[in-house]
A = this chain, B = another copy of it.
Amino acid sequence: MSLLRKSVNSMPDHSNLDPSGSLVEQFLLEPIASGPLDGLSFTVKDNIDIASRKTSYGNPTWRDRHPAPQYNALCVDQLLAAGGHCVGKVVADEFTYSLDGESQYFGTPRNAKAPNRIPGGSSSGSVASVANGVSDFSIGTDSGGSIRVPASLCGVWGMRPSLHRISEAGVLPFMPSVSTVGVIASSHEQLNSVVRVLLRSNARPAAPLKRILVLSDAMETADDPVRAAAEVALNEISHRTGVDLQTVSFAQIVGDDTPLSDCNENALRVLQSLEFQNTVGSWIENNAPEIGTSFSMAYENVRHLDRHEAINCLDLCERFFEAIQAVMISGTVICFPTTPVIAPLKNTLNSMEAVLDFYGRTMTITAFSGVGRLPEISAPLLTVDGCPVGLSFAAGHYQDEFLLSAVKKMLGS
């Protein structure tokens, strides 16, 4: 495979040099020690620092105004110290503030299993590099679904670990109460190896799987064929493990009549906007960078958020977190489709109605683990209309190792 370094500030032509469209820059960082990742290649999302190479954050002005970092992000060094080798930096959506993966500046990475469809974002390049065989695994970040959504839409494994279990040193600040570093891989086995390196997991045996919950509102949010495919897969899992499926609604978890959509609309989405004002919004207002059309539309909502009114979302986030914690006791996995839809066709998210439907329904589901600070794995188990869609498994906060072993058991792998 011969992939040349591409110019960053012009619209790249992926057709020849990098058929995956995932790479921003190609290079080789050798391992610094031997370990469980010996022989495995990885790519790094372009909001995670690589020493001496500019971090673009998906925006050309950000890239131009910030010098190259002096150090690799701590998570990158962890992977190199475990035997992995890094083969390049990959495309991120602008300021990682998107779920569609169509970057105006860095192109749209290829959805390997559905090439006429979007890959999803914002870890679009990470997922595409794995799905197209450019690397064995990739590291990205996830706040509102930025690992889980493209993993679902491209048919690879993706995990967002528990909030703050992986160091964010050298990762550009985004939404401190929400953002996590996570992993994309092509198999459960590799996902497990990489995540355990980053979590520094010991060999302590995880709790046994006792309860499988199915989040009913998430199932109802999905398109009929996605829900039907999820039901088939979940029944197989129940049969395989001998553990009954228990349906639970978000209202039952919270103990009132709150719909799942509140997790996003009145809690996580508002918190994200508040924190984005601090971490990136302030820089944008002070620097007036060039910004893309699609980000510009999203940013208008952030910019006009009334902080005084919005701050009440913090109480709701805390209340939802506590309610979810109380349900997600040891031995419990909760399941739902990662996304309510298969990947939309390219260039179809161009009306406000289409955008609102895709983002609204998708984040209704993804916000659950966000508010719950839960580890979540999207497994490429479902196929609808010939396109991949993920089935998600989440466990309690800090129960990452249990989740990895429970999913292995549930899939009989």
Asked whether A344 is an interface residue with its Cβ less than 8 Å from the other chain, the reply is no
Asked whether A81 is an interface residue with its Cβ less than 8 Å from the other chain, the reply is yes
Asked whether A282 is an interface residue with its Cβ less than 8 Å from the other chain, the reply is yes
Please state if B167 and A164 are interface contacts (CB–CB under 8 Å): no
- Integer count of this chain's copies in the complex: 2
Please state if B308 and A32 are interface contacts (CB–CB under 8 Å): yes
Within 8 A of B (CB), among A237-280: 274-275, 277-279
Please state if A33 and B308 are interface contacts (CB–CB under 8 Å): yes
Q: Which of A173, A176, A278 has the most CB of B within 10 A?
A: A278
Asked whether A71 is an interface residue with its Cβ less than 8 Å from the other chain, the reply is yes
B residues in contact with A49, CB < 8 Å:
278, 282
Q: Which of A77, A176, A277 has the most CB of B within 10 A?
A: A176
Please state if A322 and B202 are interface contacts (CB–CB under 8 Å): yes
Within 8 A of B (CB), among A169-221: 169-170, 173, 175-177, 199-202, 204
B residues in contact with A315, CB < 8 Å:
200
B residues in contact with A67, CB < 8 Å:
286
Please state if B77 and A202 are interface contacts (CB–CB under 8 Å): no
User: Chain B's nearest CB lies how many Å from the CB of A84?
Assistant: 13
User: Chain B's nearest CB lies how many Å from the CB of A77?
Assistant: 6
Asked whether A70 is an interface residue with its Cβ less than 8 Å from the other chain, the reply is yes
Asked whether A74 is an interface residue with its Cβ less than 8 Å from the other chain, the reply is yes
Pick from B32, B78, B176, B201: contact of A167, CB under 8 Å: B176
Asked whether A69 is an interface residue with its Cβ less than 8 Å from the other chain, the reply is yes
Task: Report the bound CA distance from A176 to B181 in whole Å.
Answer: 12
Asked whether A38 is an interface residue with its Cβ less than 8 Å from the other chain, the reply is no
With A49-B282, A200-B315 known, 4 other A-B pairs at CB within 8 A are A78-B311, A163-B164, A169-B177, A200-B319
Subset of 8 A-B contacts with CB under 8 Å: A32-B308, A68-B286, A69-B278, A71-B282, A163-B164, A167-B275, A169-B175, A199-B318
Closest 9 CB pairs of A and B: A169-B275, A170-B278, A200-B318, A169-B278, A70-B282, A168-B176, A67-B286, A70-B285, A69-B282
